[in-house]
């Protein structure tokens, strides 16, 4: 849960590091022994990630933004002073400058369901992508680490186009998304509860 200090209506522009969230995300989604382990996040096991609570979301292109993943190595962030200031802020918040910064709308996270919260976290983790080479294989640098990038969404389409013309190629990302939706979720609600320490305490 977000701290009360970012949920107060007096602090609309407040940001606070979610220092305990990274450990839970690693043990739940990234660690192979995690209750909700997803092998597609395996490349993030040793990657620096900072989680940040925002007192509120914002609107972009007419939609409310609930989470945002940024690749801090690729963002540029202006001139030397601007970059230095941002780097110092990251170190003060997280003890180091993470590769990716994930900011979450604290108000939404305080009110949403467990499944919605997990879906939001994994959505942002998917943006912290592992590059592929020209042959479609996962790419690694000279030190054996994954080549990282800010991964875009798999699907970008209008509902009206699908309503009028259908899915098109079933092997396209859109076709795969619709097939996945038809199969239903693979993560059962009981598994989400088992991953939550608060739920486990209540069951004890």
Rounded Cα distance, 173 and 155, in Å: 6
Report the C-alpha gap between 14 and 5 in whole angstroms: 8
Nearest to 116 by CA among 30, 28, 187, 45: 187
Task: Give the percent of the chain with pLDDT over 70.
Answer: 87
Does the global pTM surpass 0.85?
no
Mind listing the pLDDT tens digit for each residue in 74-112?
866 678 898 899 999 999 999 999 999 999 999 999 999
**How high is the pLDDT of residue 195?**
56
The domain locations on the chain are 4-152, 157-204
Instruction: Please determine, for residue 198, whether its predicted confidence score (pLDDT) is greater than 90.
Output: no
Query: Residue 194 has what pLDDT?
Result: 57
Over residues 164-191, mean pLDDT: 78
Q: Which two tokens stand for residue 199?
A: 């739920």
What is the C-alpha separation between 18 and 73, in angstroms, rounded?
21
How far apart CA 5 and CA 173 sit, in angstroms, is: 40
Of the candidates 44, 93, 99, the one whose C-alpha atom is nearest the C-alpha of residue 73 is 99
């Amino acid at each position: 849960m977000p701290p009360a200090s970012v949920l107060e209506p007096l602090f609309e522009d407040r940001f606070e590091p979610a220092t305990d969230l990274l450990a839970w995300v690693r043990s739940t989604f990234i660690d192979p022994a995690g209750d909700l382990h997803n092998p597609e996040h395996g490349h993030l096991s040793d990657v620096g990630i900072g989680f940040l609570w925002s007192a509120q979301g914002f609107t972009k292109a007419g939609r409310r933004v609930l989470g945002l993943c940024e690749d801090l190595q690729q963002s540029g962030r202006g001139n030397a002073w601007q970059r230095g200031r941002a780097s110092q802020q990251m170190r003060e918040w997280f003890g180091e400058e993470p590769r990716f910064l994930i900011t979450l709308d604290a108000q939404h996270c305080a009110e949403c369901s467990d499944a919605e919260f997990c879906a939001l976290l994994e959505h942002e983790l998917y943006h912290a992508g592992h590059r592929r080479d020209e042959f479609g294989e996962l790419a690694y640098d000279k030190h054996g680490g994954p080549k990282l990038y800010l991964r875009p969404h798999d699907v970008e389409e209008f509902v009206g186009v699908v309503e009028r013309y259908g899915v098109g190629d079933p092997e396209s990302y859109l076709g795969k998304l619709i097939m996945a939706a038809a199969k239903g979720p693979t993560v059962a609600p009981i598994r989400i509860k088992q991953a939550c320490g608060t739920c486990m305490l209540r069951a004890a």
